[in-house]
A and B are shown apart, each in its own frame.
Chain A
Amino acid sequence: MSAIVDGIDSTIGYADDRLSSAGFLKRNLKKVFPDHWSFMLGEIALYSFIILLISGVYLTLFFKPSMTEVVYNGSYTILKGVKMSEAFASTLNISFDVRGGLLMRQIHHWAALFFIASISVHMCRVFFTGAFRKPRELNWVVGTLLLITGILEGFAGYSLPDDLLSGTGLRIAEGIVQATPILGTYVSFLLFGGPFPGNDFIARLYTVHVLLVPGLILALITAHLMMVWYQKHTQFPGPGRTEKNVVGYPLMPVYMAKAGGFFFVVFGITTLLSALVTINPVWMYGPYVPDQVTAGSQPDFYIGWLDGAVRLMPNWEINLWHHYTLSLNIMIPAMIIPGLLFTGIALFPWLESWVTGDKRVHHILDRPRNAPTRTALGVGTIAFYGMLWLSGGNDIIATTFTIPFNTITWVLRFAIFIVPPLAFIVTRRFCVSLQRRDHDKLLHGRETGRILRHPSGEFTEIHASISDAERAVIMSKQDIIPIASPLASDAHGVRNPAGVIGRVRAGLSRFYYGPNIALPTAAELEAAATHLEHEAHSAVPVIEREARLEVTGGGGVLRDPGPDGQSGHNH
């Protein structure tokens, strides 16, 4: 036994003498991580990516990215003798003739959905808590790029099998490329190596899918994690948590054990889902043939909103000089909307700090209610995205709920302009109400649910002061004064050249901070504390007396035997 220990010791010693790694490890293994569950959303994304790498490598062993036409002769009899591309045939082969192949395909595809869904939810967490603020703006941009590359990678992936559904998707992608002003047709020709579908595209897409984009994602993830490492985690407000510390568990052993365990949980759940639920049954779609299409052709969910935008868009085109078409019907939903959305998301940290004038460093997270306008913007954007999702599934909704398809489209054409602003207004009000409640809690304590009846017949509820932990959380709110509008002209009457932009900025700032319930002042808090103490104090005799009351007179009469058990008066 001790020989083994000695062996290990000397090995470690050998390594340390040469790598002098002990110091590095000691410093870094004590790194502290906070423990809120929402910090694990990013981990789900990371683990899904690892699962994608593992399962993807397995698939490359059997997948043939080739458009060469073959006649299928595998064990799925329903497609026997059908002409198809080698890509499709090899996907069928993976599904039906490779050991564990179908499970691997399903793991790969479900993990892809998990990857992008968890990135999205992780992003929401970062957004709503203001974790993107200084000094983490750049990491927010890296995150946005990860979302975009993830979406591209997913699209490239599900287009590889060359089945009827994905072929239809590529056809639409081709249409979008062609709608690019001036360059469209040329770019499309270059991409597909001739007219659609051509013979080159799947092979090119394969390189993109297994090499180019995964490499990019890996690089981005590395950058992302290194920044998290050096900047340390943000944390939710709470007692003992300041801008200068991180409260949580050390990397070794607690965090490592938890993270390692969580990887297996994620892998387990992905595998369970993949074993039980079909995803992308390409054998049912059949091979891609340009003149075929199926009802209900939808992309995966992460493209669904773009498909929805295209479905929602009226068929507007501008015809210039009779031979040049500007396809607004495609450009607006498939280029302008995602372009604006992703640009807005990527630049949000700077946009916000420009409007708020907040240039401070933040390590303590905002509670969403304390940034009502930001929270409302987020919910409004989610509502917008949700409308596009609904539109993307309009035909499935139509058949499932027997609602006319045209009605859904028209309702959504209005809803896309009405629902997001409505969601914005409601959320902002809701946040302000929560702030008001916090404010009340500080001043009047929490309601105990104990109703007292005073001798005078009056009813009151006893309030107690809130716990220190809760107080620390509520007091984390930072009240900021909106930026003042610059003077239109100086004392000599000279026009201020920065005046217009400055006034716009001040207006936005007022809008951003407009609804705010400021924290009570120190004096108010002190007065409140005294009052609460007094209230608790005055309630004591009443509580004691209530507890003494006895039922007499056959249940109809309450009697107070008095403080010393002597008889008091009846009620």
Chain B
Amino acid sequence: MNAIAANRRHPAAAYVVLLLALVSVGALYAALATPSRAATAIGSSTQVDQGKSLFAEGCSSCHGLNAQGSGVGPSLIGVGAAAVDFQVGTGRMPLAQQGAQAVRKASIYSDTERAALAAYVASLAPGPEIPSASMVDAANADLARGGELFRTNCAQCHNFAGRGGALTNGKMAPSLMNATPTQIYEAMITGPESMPKFGDGTMPVQDKQDIINYVHNLQNSPNQGGAALGRLGPVTEGLILWTVGLGLLIAAAAWIGAKAR
């Protein structure tokens, strides 16, 4: 297993990631070219200044002093406040180590610092905005429809219960159990890494709210049938059968066999 972990840190891996990042940034830019949807979110100039200095400190080593990108990190011009809020809020950025993909961890920035970073990146070029509280509000959402949309659009990567799944080459779609409604929304509009982007054209805001509501339900719903075994399906069921289930039965058989003597 160590050998594998080491391979993921292979020098070539960085270039692969970079190439993918460049392609995705290009695609993102093309998609955002329509000005009507590319709302700019330029914060107050002091906030932008604060963001710029935070950026220079924590991000520029990889993304370049002006977020123009470098050999290590992609350009952030036009990724929008939503991408920064998502990447920093889920702790993916600053990237701790080069791997197959960034992983979720505790964020090292406060909320105001995160807002400043987002404002700074948003000031460079228009991009997707951070969704407002009313946009992620699931009060009017349709749970059953959210389930259908989730199974159609998300389950193939994130599993039927949002517990995550494997993708190729060491990448994986993470579990959604810790994502906040805002982060779910941002993930959909920014399409991090190998996740596709669900723009408002392909997926209206109402659909997104339905999905958010469904994921929220997955995070909190009770397990109607007893212990859920991680909601991973027949693999864990089989594991329990061969260990606990058959173990108990064979122990009982041995006990009855022994009693006879």
Contact = CB atoms under 8 A, between A and B. Distances in A.
B238 A301 contact: yes
Contact of B166 (A35, A81, A294, A399): A399
Contact of B233 (A79, A298, A404): A298
A295 B173 CA distance: 9
Contact of B160 (A164, A262, A278, A396): A164
Nearest to A248: B260
A106 B245 CA distance: 13
B132 interface: no
Interface string B220-245: 01011111110111111110111011
B147 A82 contact: yes
Q: Is the interface of A mostly helix, strand, loop or mixed?
A: helix
Interface residues of A, number: 75
A37 interface: yes
A412 interface: no
A354 interface: no
A405 interface: yes
A172 to B, nearest CB: 13
A165 B151 CA distance: 11
Given A37-B257, A258-B256, A295 B237 contact: no
Nearest to B223: A278
B232 A296 contact: yes
A300 B167 contact: no
A135 interface: no
B156 interface: yes
A82 B151 CA distance: 12
B17 interface: no
Nearest to A112: B241
B249 A298 contact: no
Contacts of B258: 37
B214 to A, nearest CB: 8
Chief secondary structure at chain B's binding surface = helix
A297 interface: yes
Most buried by A among B8, B152, B166, B245: B166
Interface stretch (A15-23, A279-287, A539-547): A279-287
Interface string A36-65: 111111011000000000000000000000
Given A81-B144, A295-B173, A106 B234 contact: no
Interface in A384-439: 392-396, 398-399, 401-407
Nearest to A411: B4
Contacts of A40: 253, 256-257
Contacts of A254: 260
Contacts of B163: 296
A117 B228 contact: no
B26 interface: no
Contacts of A280: 234, 237
B151 A292 contact: yes
Nearest to B254: A37
Contacts of B8: 404
Contacts of B143: 77-78
Contacts of A43: 253
Contact of A266 (B1, B168, B236, B249): B249
Interface in B89-132: 100
A401 B1 contact: yes
B249 A285 contact: no
Contact of A405 (B1, B155, B167, B249): B167
Contacts of A300: 234, 237-238
B144 A79 contact: yes
A192 B167 CA distance: 32
B252 A269 contact: yes
A384 B90 CA distance: 42
A82 B248 CA distance: 40
A81 B147 CA distance: 11
B21 interface: no
B51 interface: no
A402 B233 CA distance: 18
A262 B259 CA distance: 12
A468 to B, nearest CB: 17
B237 A279 contact: yes
Contacts of B168: 405-406
B165 A301 contact: no
A120 B168 CA distance: 34
Contacts of B234: 165, 280, 298-301, 304
Contact of A277 (B159, B226, B231, B261): B226
A398 B158 CA distance: 14
Nearest to B165: A295
A271 to B, nearest CB: 12
Contacts of B169: 404-406
A106 B144 contact: no
Given A79-B144, A80-B144, A273-B245, A395 B233 contact: no
A299 B235 CA distance: 8
B160 A291 contact: no
A95 interface: yes
B181 to A, nearest CB: 18
Contacts of B172: 398-399, 402
B241 A114 contact: yes
B209 to A, nearest CB: 16
A279 B159 CA distance: 16
Contacts of A284: 160-161, 231
A96 B225 CA distance: 10
A152 B148 CA distance: 31
A262 B248 CA distance: 12
Given A265-B256, A278-B229, A295-B159, A164 B151 contact: yes
A113 interface: yes
A88 to B, nearest CB: 13
A396 B229 CA distance: 13
B158 A295 contact: yes
A289 interface: yes
A293 B155 contact: yes
A413 B70 CA distance: 39
Interface in A228-260: 249, 254, 258
A185 B150 CA distance: 33
A296 B244 contact: no
Contact of A117 (B100, B145, B224, B241): B241
Contacts of B228: 278, 281
A284 B237 CA distance: 15
9 contacts: A77-B143, A79-B144, A80-B144, A81-B144, A110-B245, A295-B156, A301-B242, A396-B232, A403-B1
Pairs of residues from A and B, 9 with the lowest C-beta to C-beta distance, nearest first: A295-B165, A404-B170, A278-B225, A301-B238, A37-B257, A398-B166, A294-B160, A395-B166, A40-B253
Given A110-B241, A291-B152, 11 more contacts: A78-B221, A113-B238, A121-B246, A278-B225, A281-B231, A294-B165, A295-B156, A300-B238, A399-B165, A399-B166, A403-B1
Interface of A: 35-41, 43-44, 77-82, 95-96, 102, 106, 110, 113-114, 117-118, 121, 164-165, 249, 254, 258, 261-262, 265-266, 269, 273-281, 283-286, 289, 291-301, 304, 392-396, 398-399, 401-407
